Every structure is written in structure tokens, then in C-alpha cells.
Structure 1
Amino acid sequence: MLFMEKMSLSWLLTTALVVVVSGFTDTEPGPAATAATPLGGDRFKIEGRAIVPGVKTQDWVSTARVLVDGEDYVGFLRIDGGFSVNDVPSGSYVVEVVTPSYRFEPVRVDITSKGKMRARMVNYIKTSEVIRQPYPLQIRSSGPHSYFMKRETWGWTDFLMNPMVMMMVLPLLIIVLLPKVVNTNDPEMRKVNETFLCSPCFTDSMILGIQMNFSLWTPVSTGNGAVHEHAEPKPGASRCVRAHDEALLWLQRLQQSQQQ
């Protein structure tokens, strides 16, 4: 009787142990296990050569690796830059050469079930676009890696596009170019200006301020050094002085007509 109880207890413990172990064991094969045994069982070899123009191969080949689909298949480069990745099943793979010194563009290699190889450029935007590449692969470096940002240098465009400079230069350009665009001798334009200056909103103090501004910018001096406000334009005077005299006379005439 005691022996039967011990046997039943040991059987229960064994059953419980089997249930616990089976609960922590994944019996379904994962994706890695499925990919490890492709249909047909045929394996192929991807061959090619990596080239860095103007650089000796032995200077960089020791740190380079060939990665197929990330790190699913890894290959190494020979002294002459050639490589071969063995035991690759049929499918479509992205082959890239990785080195810390130089940058290489990846290449997509399509392998049929009969072992035919086709190389084409990698285009993640237009996946349907096919640009053929030679096979065995000839992967050329597009240049060295740039790990640091280039320090910005000062240029004339930075100076001219400065907002403060534009605020100073644009008004000057308007002052210089506007008289050449607008015909100030046009009778209609002069009439519009007179109507504006003689309007009630344009007071005597404003006209006086304009006269003072003209006098401050380009005062017309007489022989004794005094400022002559009613001086007629001199034929031999400079263009700026003649323009100043004409503007003063015009404003004075407008002021007199407004007072009358």
C-alpha cells in the first residue's frame, strides 16, 4: 500500500514537471528556422569587387565587410578588393560594402531558382524602376565618410542678405532709382503733388519741416557763409545743389499760394 502511494506521487510530480517545461518551450518554428531551410536546398555565391578610386586597396580592405541583407550573410574582402559570399539561397538581397573610411552605394542582387544573377540599383522610392548593374558586382566608392559638419565661412552674400543691411540699402536704392523712373516734369504729376501738399492735412509746420530737412541735407551757401533760402539755381552748380534749389523754390511757392 505504501509502495503504491509512492508510485502515484512520483507519477504526479513527473506529470507536473513535464507540463511546466512544455509551458516554457516554444514548439512552433520561428521565421529564422523557416529561412534556414529554403525550398529546393540550392545555395549560390554572390561575387564582386569593391573599388576606391585613387587609393591602394591594402589601405582600407582590412576594415571592410560585405553585408547581405543586413547581417544575414557576411563576407570579407581579399587583398585585391574582390569578395564572394557563399551559401546564399535564391531570392532578392541588398549587398553593401561597409567600411569606416569610405562610403559605398548598396546594390540589389536577384537570384533565381536556377542560379541566374541580376544586379540593379537600390531605389527605395521607386521600387519598380530597374537600372541594371554589371555582374559580377563592381561597387565603386562615392567618397569618404563625413563625420563632422563643415564650419561655415563668412561670405559677401551673408553680408548683403543681413536684414539690417537690407533695411539700409533698399531705401537708398529707392531714393536713387525712383526719380529716374518717375518723370517729375510731368504736368499731371506736378499737379497731383501740389494738390497733395496744399491739402488741409498738410499744415504749415509740415512744409516748414520739409524746408528745414532740405536745408540740413544740402544747404546753399552764399559768399558770406549764410544760407540763402531764395537762391535761384546756378547753372554751374552741381546736380544735387540745383535739385535742392529747385525743391526749395517749389515749396516756397506752394506755401505762398496756400497763405493766399
Structure 2
Amino acid sequence: MSDGLDSAARAAIARVAATDLLLVALDFDGTLSPLEDEPMDARMLPAARVAVDALIAAPRTVVAFVSGRSLVDLRVIAEHDDASRVVLAGSHGAEFWFPGEGFVRHGEDAAAVALRDTLRAHAEEATAHLEGVWIEPKTFGFGVHTRRAEPAAAEEANRLVDAIVTAEAPEWRRRAGHNIVEYAFRHEGKDSAVAELRERTGATAVVFAGDDTTDEDALQSLGSTDLGLRVGAGPSAATVCVPDIAALSELLSVIAADRTGARE
């Protein structure tokens, strides 16, 4: 097992590895894939893919990707098809894909969708002069990407779009992550996504891993029999923090091996 783990962390890992039915819910960007300047270039690192495949093959283990990405984009970057055994939760848990069932979306309101398109157009127009700023369409809103922008341009973009949304849709949910601010007319979060997945699968324990502030909702929602993992530095509710994707992949592989070994 990875070095640097204290006895409490080791006990938590052993506990989830031994549970009856384990749900492993994983953020994608920054957790399984490096953050990319072009978001659609994101792909799992080879070590992460090996770990995910091992978990999929482990007995009584359900693997899910839980992302702020729209489901259609998440399927592309995860290289996910209809034969996959991986469950998907997109748009922070407002839309799902389940093996054997396909797409499951919570209700859309026609007026909210129309407002989404209007606000996204306003955001694009307001930020068009700012180099490196990109407005990402999302199923239930849009995101303002500033990874490629200079700090002053990023600050100005966020100020302009904040003003638009505050004036035209003050009830929308705002989330800030790594060089992105997301706005949505639905209020689901990764905590509700994990709760729904737990109920749907009947999991007796959950492992959740993430790297960003938007993942803290899920990490904070975990119970005493669950395990929260954080990739990277920063304040976190996670039980175990690891420095990078490689270290997370190693830890996930340990869980997969322990579950497989215990049932052979």
C-alpha cells in the first residue's frame, strides 16, 4: 500500500475493501485525467485506466464517474460506449447513464432551457474581446473557462458574467473550480449524485475521489463507513489526500486487489 498513510487511513481503506457492495465514484478532470487547456482533450492516464479496469473487474464493485461535464462530453473524454460497465453522473448529478438502461435525465423546463441559451449568448458576447476565455455549453447552464487567459482577463470575464447571471437569473447555482466558473439552473451537486448512486446500487460503502472545490460537497456528505480521497493539496474533508493521479491510481489498485483477493 502507498507510503505515508497513517493507521486511521489504512483502517478506512481496509474497511471499504471488505464491504459487501462497494461504489467507487470518481471525478474525472484532475482526478483520472490531467487538467487540459482544451477541455475535450482530457483522457485518463494509463495508470488510472488500469486501476479503473481492475475495479470494474473486482467482485461486487460498481464504478461511476461523477463530473460537472455534460453527459455527452463526459462520454467522449471517458471513451465510454454502450457496452461500458461504468455508470456516469454528468452535470453534477442532474443526468445519468446506467448500464443496460442508458440515459436518465431529471426533468428539463422549457423556459429554463431558453434562458440558458440566452444567458450563454450574452456571456459569449460580453467576453468575446477577452483572449483565452471560452464559454462552454452545458446541459443545464454554461461554464466560463479561463485556463488560457491572463489573470486580468480571467478576473474581468468572471466579473462580467457574474453581473449578467445576477441580473437575469439570480436563482441559478454558481460553482467555482480550477480556472472555471459554472452556472446552472439546476441545483444538484456531487453530494446528491453520490446519494442517488448509493441508493440505486444498494452500496454498503462508498469511495469518492476528487481534486477540486466542487468535489467537496460529495466528500463532506460521506459517512463513517465510506472513504473520501483528495488529489492534490488544499483544505479537504477527505480521509486520505494523495499528491497526484499516479498516487490515487496506486491506491485504487490496492482496493481492487484487496476486494478480488478476499473473494478468491
Q: Same fold (TM over 0.5)?
A: no
TM-score range normalised by the length of the shorter chain: under 0.3
TM-score (ref. length: structure 1): 0.19
Q: RCO (CA 8 Å, sep 6+): is it higher in 1 or 2?
A: 2
With the length of structure 2 as denominator, give the TM-score of the two structures: 0.18
